[in-house]
Structure 1
Amino acid sequence: MLENETINLDQYSNTMKLLDLNPKLAPELHIQALGDNILDRCKAICRSKYFDLIGTIFAILSVLFVTIEVSNRPVNTDYMDLVAFTLPMAIANCCFLLYFALEIILKAWAFGPLNFFRSSTMHILEATVAFTCFILQILFLVIHGTPIVSMIYLEMVKKQKPIFSLWAAIKVCNMLFIYRLVRFLPASKNIRIIVGTIFDEFRNGGAFFGLLFSFYYAYSILGMELFGGVMDDFYIRYNKSNITICGTYEQLEYWPNGFDDFYSSIITLYNVMVVNQWDVFVDGFRNATNSYWSELYFIFWYLFVTNIGLNVCLALSGDIHDAKKQRADQNEELIVSNMYDIYRSQIKEPSSEEITEQLSKHPYINFCQRSAEGINLS
């Protein structure tokens, strides 16, 4: 646009609509309608929530069996006792893995492969975990001829030799089926609001978290300049004196919490921020520096970050939660895409006449072209 060029009301309205758009949760999917024949009825069964519920129950049982199987491995010293105890659960897990692979295939057939995998990233994760576990289990059966852990692996574990066997890979992958419990989260409106509040806080709190990181970075550098190496000298003096007072920095052995490097500085400041025995840190650095002025460093950090920063974070979380709760009560979209959506209910919007009057004074927006037709901005 040129410097003196104007736009009309339609162009202005379209621009405002684009700026006010909310992101969609999923792309538009065209799922084929079902008929009354046998195949369509089978597809309807695979699309139903009960089919998902059965898979989730099997996933919980699979994780439970794997946990029992793995936990009883060091208990049974005799290999034959281990086989007798874990064989039924191992066979059941093999059946579960076969079911999970078939479940993905049936769902992809019922919804259509493109629609099924495009509708949610969880479906891609489910398919990846299911087929990975199934392929690893087939390889294990081909190599060892049994779903039970091999005796060679047990001997290497007893000798404390680090090894990540195929059997261990199967069990680790099998434990990932616990993620299917996430499906129950949308069933409760309150849980959806709470989980959505966390995501929306990260979406809308970028400026705040950036400012908090800047505080961490600057204060860590300042702490390294002020207190770098003081704890090393304090540690030497402490070992020479051999005097221990209960509850102090040295008695609790907080030596790694210092300002000798950037990473330990971040951890130390975090401990002070969450008020995790921050008085112990204050006393420890005061004794290390032999100066009461060192307390000002931690006091200012406590005031600006703990009292102000965390309260702002909690206030933002509370406002987002209230906004989402109000939207849920009004059956509106739960996404809070910008700060205006959070405080929209508390803002007194101007009338249409006031908006028209102010916009008519704008040097680059020409509303005179539509004045005869009337302008409705409500």
Structure 2
Amino acid sequence: LICLCIFTLDVAAKSYLIGWDEFCINKWLIGYVLIIAASVIDWAITVSMLCHETIRVRRLIRPFFLLQNSSLMKKTLKCIKRTLPEIDKEKNGEWEAYFRNLPRALSSLLVLLTTANNPDGTYILMNLLTAIIYNQFRGYLLLSVQTSIIRRRLGIRAAFEVLCCQGPINERVHVPTLLEIMRKVKMKSYYRQAIMKAAEQVPGGFIDGEAFQRLFDELDKDIIKEHPLKPEYRSPVLQWIQKIGSHYYLTVVGNVVALANVLCISTILVLDSEKIVSQRDDYYMEVINCTFILYYLIEMVLKMIGFGWKGYLSYRNNIFDGVFTVLLLGLQISIFKGVISMWEMVRLVNMFIVFRFLRVIPEIKLMALVASTLVDLVKNLRAFAGILVVVYYVYAIIGMWLFHGAIPAPAGSSGENSTSNFTMECGSYEQLEYWPNNFDDFASSLVLLYDVMVVNNWQVFMDAYTRYTTEWSKLYFVSWWLTSSVMWVNLFVALILENFTYKWDKSHALSVSDVERMRYETTVQLMFREHVQEPTEEELLTQLRQHRHLHLSR
């Protein structure tokens, strides 16, 4: 009830600010009001029935509030809405032989698109479908990015015009006036400091329109963490050690030593592969590993002296090396004390040494590019992940409504006696004992939906619920598979390729460190900036003159 009151105040404030005329043409705000009204009515019904009813409509429409308050999610939904009709644009009669009725259609989709027995359907057709979906989606995404850029440029230009009116020179903005305004603007401190720093560096104390627009390009960049200054030592010995510890070649030598360690482990394992465990002598392996671990410890100490404690921790590679070095040192001490058997400890040491060799990834340009692309997924695909969470939630609620308690688990399903499985059909829901995969609670519903999304024996679940309920239950599973596995996973893969291609094109003339820095400057807007046309000054001024709340003096 408190949340509904907050949403009511929110929609009332938005409606008041934009006015009645704008409110009547804003479908999202109208839907906002209708959803709030439906939620209040459903809540009143729940209270009047003393919370005994099982179906609560407000649970199903609750994700609307998440979508309504995210402009990027709304743009994504709009792009998807425009994309779907384009997919079914081409018409032909070839499908009639394979899709005569619903059971035949489901069987054809299952065989052609989700099984490895037909690679033509799984790999060729699905990849073509990925290209078709993303080609249409990318066009509408470009249009959305174009609209966002125009709005930003229009707002920045409007701010420039307003500040020009307050300054002594009508064509430029006074820097102190801009700095005073920026101190009062509510935004992240990093962006404020970056814009103010760039403004202070403008010569002459005045900013023209083009430079004013460039100032706010900092909004597209993430914060770049600066490394602390190196400590200053008075001792000549410490200065010499600092020079060695902070030199780039120490990292190169460390990578070579790590490679040599992995090669030694691989060679010894190959030689011992034909021996039984009792005939293997782990003494030489342990001596070699102990020598390398001592080098890793010396390297870590040198870097700590060279960069200082805070400077050492400011590099992610150093943290990665340090954690594994401490673990290896602890395991080595445990071996000396005989806490665990030699054979088990050597296996753990070998595993950690191999993991530590992953430190070379940031030092190789192509591997660093792939790693930074994976890191960017979290940053640039938050809107898509948010919509996927909403879809998961809605399908889980609908599944609980439709199939709650549809498949009762037998009393002895959790016992050790499984002799009854011999009378069941091989590969069926009962024979595989998939009893925990059901729609009896929200968590189990999410797990089952995930299994269907990754095509993990999804035909078993569909067949079971068809037998226990009705043939129409196939519509639920097929619609979820089309939404999640076909539509969403393909968009996800296509955006990964788009991100990687963008970085690959820009990385040809960059060093490894520049590739790492480029990670802070990769957003959805920047990825498509080269394909988007910037609005001209005349277009911006024309739109500003038509704005009813802004009156330009020129």
Q: Does 1:57 align with 2:259?
A: yes
Task: Answer whether contact 1:193 1:324 (CA < 8 A) is retained.
Answer: yes
Distance 2:297 2:271 in 1: 22
Change in 2 beyond 3 A, CA 1:285/1:71: farther
Distance 1:294 1:188 in 2: 51
1:240 shift after superposition: 8.7
In the other structure, the counterpart of 2:163 is 7
Q: Does 1:96 align with 2:292?
A: yes
Change in 2 beyond 3 A, CA 1:271/1:254: same
Change in 2 beyond 3 A, CA 1:366/1:99: farther
Task: Answer whether contact 2:255 2:360 (CA < 8 A) is retained.
Answer: no
Distance 1:241 1:88 in 2: 51
With CA pairs under 8 Å and 6+ residues apart, which has the higher RCO, 1 or 2? Answer: 1
In structure 1, the gaps of 5 or more residues are: 155-166, 372-378
Distance 1:366 1:56 in 2: 67
In the other structure, the counterpart of 1:124 is 319
Task: Answer whether contact 1:7 1:366 (CA < 8 A) is retained.
Answer: no
1:202 shift after superposition: 1.7
TM-score (norm 2): 0.50
1:337 shift after superposition: 3.5
1:39 shift after superposition: 8.0
Amino acid in structure 2 at the alignment position of 1:318:
L
Change in 2 beyond 3 A, CA 1:365/1:108: farther
In the other structure, the counterpart of 1:16 is 216
Most deviating of 179-188 and 59-68 = 59-68
Change in 2 beyond 3 A, CA 1:209/1:267: same
Distance 1:311 1:247 in 2: 29
Q: 1:334 aligns with which of 495, 502, 518?
A: 518
Q: Does 1:313 align with 2:492?
A: yes
Amino acid in structure 2 at the alignment position of 1:27:
E
- For residue 478 of structure 2, give the secondary structure of its aligned residue in structure 1: helix
- For residue 349 of structure 1, give the secondary structure of its aligned residue in structure 2: coil
In the other structure, the counterpart of 1:298 is 477
In the other structure, the counterpart of 1:349 is 534
Equivalenced residues, count: 333
Most deviating of 203-212 and 226-235 = 226-235
Change in 2 beyond 3 A, CA 1:181/1:208: same
- For residue 230 of structure 1, give the secondary structure of its aligned residue in structure 2: coil
Change in 2 beyond 3 A, CA 1:64/1:43: farther
Equivalences for 1:135-146 in 2 at 5 Å? Answer: 135-138=330-333, 140-141=335-336, 143-144=337-338
Equivalences for 1:125-204 in 2 at 5 Å? Answer: 125-138=320-333, 140-141=335-336, 143-144=337-338, 149=341, 168=345, 172=348, 175-204=351-380
Distance 1:72 1:259 in 2: 50
Distance 1:352 1:50 in 2: 51
**CA-to-partner distance for each residue in 1:187-226, whole Å, 9 max, x for gaps?**
4433333322222122111111111112212222322332
1:253 shift after superposition: 4.0
Change in 2 beyond 3 A, CA 1:341/1:149: same
**CA-to-partner distance for each residue in 1:115-140, whole Å, 9 max, x for gaps?**
3332x123123223323432553465
Distance 2:268 2:317 in 1: 22
1:172 shift after superposition: 3.7
Change in 2 beyond 3 A, CA 1:121/1:148: same
Task: Answer whether contact 2:320 2:356 (CA < 8 A) is retained.
Answer: no
Amino acid in structure 2 at the alignment position of 1:129:
F
- For residue 55 of structure 1, give the secondary structure of its aligned residue in structure 2: helix
1:54 shift after superposition: 3.2
Distance 2:434 2:330 in 1: 48
Amino acid in structure 2 at the alignment position of 1:322:
T
Name the % identity: 28
**CA-to-partner distance for each residue in 1:140-161, whole Å, 9 max, x for gaps?**
53x45xx9937xxx9xxxxxxx
Change in 2 beyond 3 A, CA 1:244/1:322: same
In the other structure, the counterpart of 1:376 is none
Distance 2:332 2:242 in 1: 28
Change in 2 beyond 3 A, CA 1:127/1:307: closer
Distance 2:286 2:275 in 1: 12
Change in 2 beyond 3 A, CA 1:50/1:243: closer
In the other structure, the counterpart of 2:459 is 279
1:106 shift after superposition: 1.9
Task: Answer whether contact 1:7 1:364 (CA < 8 A) is retained.
Answer: no
